[in-house]
A and B are shown apart, each in its own frame.
Chain A
Amino acid sequence: AQSVTQLDSQVPVFEEAPVELRCNYSSSVSVYLFWYVQYPNQGLQLLLKYLSGSTLVKGINGFEAEFNKSQTSFHLRKPSVHISDTAEYFCAVSPRGGSYIPTFGRGTSLIVHP
């Protein structure tokens, strides 16, 4: 079984500032890692994913994340946020092999102020 901890439930930030949304996971097997974004009144959409290879993963809208196996973390970063980045962000993990059923974190609300 796996679990996902998003360390901040809410992150307020000013426009054009950098941001980091933190995600830690635990699992007895190797995992795939994902970040999804949910804009108000919408479903989730994939921001980026780590399957294998380079531990630095680039996604849509200028976001990137780094997989750190020793710290079991997959933090999401953006060097300069926009008002339009205001949304809920979910970290998720899926076990390699087996059922692939993802486990989601509880979400981090990113609030970008002008």
Chain B
Amino acid sequence: DVKVTQSSRYLVKRTGEKVFLECVQDMDHENMFWYRQDPGLGLRLIYFSYDVKMKEKGDIPEGYSVSREKKERFSLILESASTNQTSMYLCASEQDPYEQYFGPGTRLTVT
């Protein structure tokens, strides 16, 4: 079974802090994605990566950056957290274009 893990299930940070969200997959997948999920808005793509050290902006990249130094790990970085970044963050990986495998999510609260 494909396993996608995220470093924290719940996280509380203060405004202005630098926040790291880590995602690791164990199936040697090429493609990895970061989404945020908000009630009534569904999933919105923040960044994705097709390969190590490669990244592409999604629909809402402002205020975020990413890092992919190893194939299995894809990190989302909030350079200076703001209250409007309070959300559920979901990581996903895929090998082919047909199915995404999701982690359990990190619920981030910025106060």
Number of interface residues of B (CB under 8 A): 18
Bound CA–CA A3/B24 (angstroms): 29
What chain B residues lie within 8 Å of A101 (beta carbons)? Answer: 45, 48, 58
- Give the chain B neighbours of A100 by CB distance below 8 A: 97
Verify A49–B99 contact, CB threshold 8 A.
yes
Given A32-B97, A94-B97, the answer on whether A43 and B42 have CB atoms closer than 8 Å is: no
B97 A43 Cβ-Cβ under 8 A: no
Q: Which of A30-64 contact B (CB under 8 A)?
A: 32, 34, 36, 41-46, 49, 51
**Roughly how many angstroms separate A36 CA and B42 CA in the complex, as a whole number?**
12
Query: Contact between A104 and B48 (Cβ–Cβ < 8 Å)?
Result: no
Q: A43 vs B23: C-alpha distance in the bound complex, in angstroms?
A: 13
Task: Give residues of chain B (1-58) contacting chain A, Cβ–Cβ below 8 Å.
Answer: 4, 40-43, 45, 48, 58
Cβ-defined contact, A42 with B45, below 8 A: no
* B residues whose Cβ falls under 8 Å from a Cβ of A: 4, 40-43, 45, 48, 58, 90, 92, 97-100, 102-105
